[in-house]
Structure 1
């Protein structure tokens, strides 16, 4: 089955404009034995120290943003007892600008493939809690259920693309499809590493193939490069769970890089990348590891490490809402690079039929020949 299938929703687009402010967030906790007899400020400043500094949590408590058993408590020295129900209300805020129009590349009763634009986050996180692909899918499902007799399932993404990455994003409409598609990604990643026998077995078993295009700095000399650098995490300001980097002690990862075109005058190379594992920021890390970071990448530099690396740096100030201010140093969600999930081949989660999906390339990722062919058309 290809993009020309009658089931394809060719050039079908949807999207709902973002409201000025999001709805804020509510975080719930129940006091356990280990936290009993703690004060309210001790509980939050210890358990959620990555969310806000001590003074920030004091501000939130005194501002009436925390309830204990349904009652607003403004005294930070309130003693907590076992079983107490705590709720912290993060006040609504204006999220950074983000596109909201999505194109449907493929859709049937089990799954939907979207062409995600750059600068749109897939799932909630950090400053982006509402301006995400997931929210647009939920709003679309709500509109469909109110206008149709039969309620459409609510699709959910089964993998992630970086906020600055564009292209194919697969979403499942049913629990079964979600389980199957998630297994495809997990299988590919789990078989990478070890020896060549493992990789041969991976090629035989793989039910999904992902191909990207990227523009990298410098001239890649070899026509084809296989990168097998493991990827791990390090502490990094503004990234609570750690920043993914090239690390000898990390998890196995494999990327196949193929040169499509070299531009000596602009000192950059257009490449095609097939990934056989799905580590976060894998392509950005692997290409920078071999000495060719993505053109415009604000974070990763040669060696697969961050541009500014000082794990001891901690900003003790806090923003207006009590939380830490946006890091001055680059973070993974920063955009500026050109990376596009161009083609996906997979076994349909219920029929096992092979599906080929292609997302149109942005002009900056065209080869000279593709540009000429497009101008002729």
Structure 2
């Protein structure tokens, strides 16, 4: 555990506990800190408090943040949709609602918990709570991920991510009608200074480029193909919102009032391509859009058919 201690300044009085703590850690999101608080790892003047506790001037905040080695990740018998497997890699089709790896607030039910049950050999580069995980997709996003079984495979796949040679194609359903048939969104992304759970377009952020192409225009939404040139956190979600077309169902960047009851944004990692770390062969995988995606599109298509 890493121990930290802070004193509440006069201008920080009445701040929420979770906001106060997250503001003291540039690399920790507010949701991460809320998970730490839920675990009982944060105290105010020696007493446990909830995330929404309003701090007072001169109060002492203590927090313990676990190292990766402090996390004990359990094997769990959770069904997996395996698209391909050999001695170096596993290609998985992740369902919407599943978190990729354990973190405060999500220690069980993750893809890693399932992989540990399914597979004995996973690369150890990212520590005990992220074995084999080369890249991630959000909890509310479905689709394809490649997992490394050994360190050599992990390094070679990570290099492809870094040099942008890995193919990553998504399907997204956006709010509103996009009139351009295609486009490129080139806008740097960084952490939102006001709400640290969010990312935002920030001139001081990291380079981020998304290519999009309209697949189908529906009555109130647009189905688009998005190809990532870079891979920043929440990139497609932020970029599409930036041009005025947030994703349907997005709980963070989307409309406050959502028409459909969904577990997350309408975003599916449909295609993934990479050079195999041992054979040097280019491999490409596709997955069909999930049922919840099909149902929403079906409703919107039927609306177009109805007479005005």
TM-score (norm 1): 0.56
How far the C-alpha of 1:362 sits from its partner, in A, is 1.8
Are residues 226 and 301 of structure 1, via their aligned partners in 2, closer, same or farther at CA, if it must alter by over 3 Å?
same
Residues 1:252 and 2:207 aligned together: yes
Secondary structure in 2 matching 1:285: helix
Mapped to 1, the partners of 2:207 and 2:138 lie a distance apart of 20
Secondary structure in 2 matching 1:102: coil
Bigger Rg, structure 1 or 2: 1
Query: Which residue is 1:171 aligned to?
Result: 147
Pick aligned residue for 2:93 from 99, 115, 118: 115
Checking the alignment, whether the CA contact within 8 Å between 2:169 and 2:269 is kept in structure 1 is yes
How far the C-alpha of 1:102 sits from its partner, in A, is 1.6
Residues 1:101 and 2:79 aligned together: yes
Pick aligned residue for 1:351 from 279, 288, 296: 279
Query: Which residue is 2:174 aligned to?
Result: 216
Query: Which residue is 2:289 aligned to?
Result: 361
Larger relative contact order (Cα-Cα within 8 Å, sequence gap ≥ 6)? 1
Are residues 141 and 220 of structure 1, via their aligned partners in 2, closer, same or farther at CA, if it must alter by over 3 Å?
same
How far the C-alpha of 1:365 sits from its partner, in A, is 4.5
Secondary structure in 1 matching 2:87: coil
Mapped to 1, the partners of 2:79 and 2:45 lie a distance apart of 37
Mapped to 2, the partners of 1:364 and 1:138 lie a distance apart of 27
Residues 1:184 and 2:166 aligned together: no
How do residues 1-377 of structure 1 correspond to structure 2 at under 5 angstroms?
27=1, 43-45=4-6, 49-50=21-22, 51=33, 52=37, 55-56=43-44, 58-59=46-47, 100-142=78-120, 152-153=121-122, 156-188=132-164, 206=165, 208-237=166-195, 239=196, 243-264=198-219, 267-301=220-254, 335-363=263-291, 365=293
Mapped to 2, the partners of 1:213 and 1:54 lie a distance apart of 40
Mapped to 2, the partners of 1:87 and 1:221 lie a distance apart of 47
Mapped to 2, the partners of 1:153 and 1:249 lie a distance apart of 36
Secondary structure in 2 matching 1:137: helix
Deviations 1:214-271 (A, max 9, x none): 111000101111111111112345x4xx63111122111111101110112xx00111
Query: Which residue is 2:128 aligned to?
Result: none
Checking the alignment, whether the CA contact within 8 Å between 1:270 and 1:365 is kept in structure 2 is no
Checking the alignment, whether the CA contact within 8 Å between 1:229 and 1:253 is kept in structure 2 is yes
Secondary structure in 2 matching 1:248: coil
Checking the alignment, whether the CA contact within 8 Å between 1:159 and 1:170 is kept in structure 2 is yes
Deviations 1:93-126 (A, max 9, x none): xxxxxx9422001111100010100111001223
Q: CA RMSD in A?
A: 3.2
Mapped to 2, the partners of 1:360 and 1:213 lie a distance apart of 10
How far the C-alpha of 1:49 sits from its partner, in A, is 3.8
How far the C-alpha of 1:57 sits from its partner, in A, is 6.6
How far the C-alpha of 1:284 sits from its partner, in A, is 0.2
TM-score (norm 2): 0.68
Are residues 87 and 171 of structure 1, via their aligned partners in 2, closer, same or farther at CA, if it must alter by over 3 Å?
closer
